């Protein structure tokens, strides 16, 4: 069987290009996939090993910015798989506050009251105090952060996905 051959009765082809190569198949090894998204790799000759389905990972995020209430704005993150469905496992992303809607750089001024996890997820590390974090979701891909600001300010939360792309929230607006 040739590399990238899809074993399919229904036209599902999950192989055939380097971009579709499962992450746990080393470059140069022959592999094929089935309709159930199970992958196998060649052990040489006609011997194949099943390596299972590709692991679900963070491929996107939906960001929902709440309205300010008592100097707090809640921002909810829903991490997503490549097909757009909710992540069904714990995911990790990095995020930072930016002063502009393009996400160009970390904010110059952090919120006066900082940030805290709301009800979902956790802050694994504060990379730049009150400005840049490594975040972990709950097992359903949820994270939510509460930002507190006593003055007037506008920020944008920028989420960096594992592939390096950025997703930028609507404005977090505080009106003293």
- What does the H/E/C string look like for 58-122? CCEEEEEECCCECCEEEEEEEEECCCCCECCCCCEEEEEEECCCCCCCCCCCCCCCCEEECCCCE
Q: In the CATH hierarchy, which fold is given to the domain comprising 60-174?
A: Immunoglobulin-like (2.60.40)
Q: How confident is the model at residue 40 (pLDDT cuts 50, 70, 90)?
A: low
* Dihedral over alpha carbons 89, 137, 94, 128 (to 10 degrees): -150
For the chain, percent of residues with pLDDT exceeding 90: 63
CA atoms of 91 and 104, how far apart (whole Å): 24
Segment 11-17 mean pLDDT? 44
Question: Looking at residue 176, what is its pLDDT?
Answer: 74
Burial of 17 (0-12, 13-18, 19+ CB in 10 A): exposed
At 1, is the secondary structure helix, strand, or coil? coil
Q: What is the pLDDT of residues 66-112, one digit of tens each?
A: 999 999 999 999 999 988 899 999 999 999 999 999 999 999 999 99
- Among 18-27, 31-40, 79-88, which stretch is predicted with the lowest mean pLDDT? 31-40
Q: What is the pLDDT of residues 104-149, one digit of tens each?
A: 999 999 999 999 999 999 999 999 999 999 999 999 999 999 999 9
Question: Looking at residue 42, what is its pLDDT?
Answer: 55
Say whether pLDDT at 41 is over 60.
Answer: no
Q: Would the pTM of this model clear 0.75, i.e. be above it?
A: no
As a residue count, the chain comes to 176
More confident residue, 29 or 175: 175
Q: Where are the domains of the chain?
A: 5-52, 60-174
Mean pLDDT of the chain: 82
């Amino acid at each position: 069987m040739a590399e990238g051959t899809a074993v399919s009765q229904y036209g599902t082809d999950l192989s055939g290009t380097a971009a579709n190569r499962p992450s746990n198949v080393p470059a140069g090894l022959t592999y094929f996939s089935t309709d159930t998204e199970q992958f196998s790799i060649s052990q040489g000759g006609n011997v194949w090993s099943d390596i299972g389905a590709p692991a679900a990972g963070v491929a996107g995020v939906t960001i929902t910015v709440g309205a300010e209430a008592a100097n707090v704005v809640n921002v909810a993150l829903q991490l997503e798989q490549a097909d757009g469905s909710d992540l069904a496992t714990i995911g990790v992303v990095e995020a930072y506050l930016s002063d502009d809607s393009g996400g160009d750089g970390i904010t110059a001024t952090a919120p006066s009251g900082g940030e805290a996890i709301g009800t979902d997820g956790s802050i694994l590390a504060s990379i730049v105090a009150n400005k840049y974090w490594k975040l972990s979701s709950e097992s359903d891909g949820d994270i939510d952060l509460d930002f507190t600001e006593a003055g007037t300010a506008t920020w944008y939360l920028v989420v960096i996905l594992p592939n390096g792309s950025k997703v930028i929230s609507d404005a977090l607006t505080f009106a003293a």
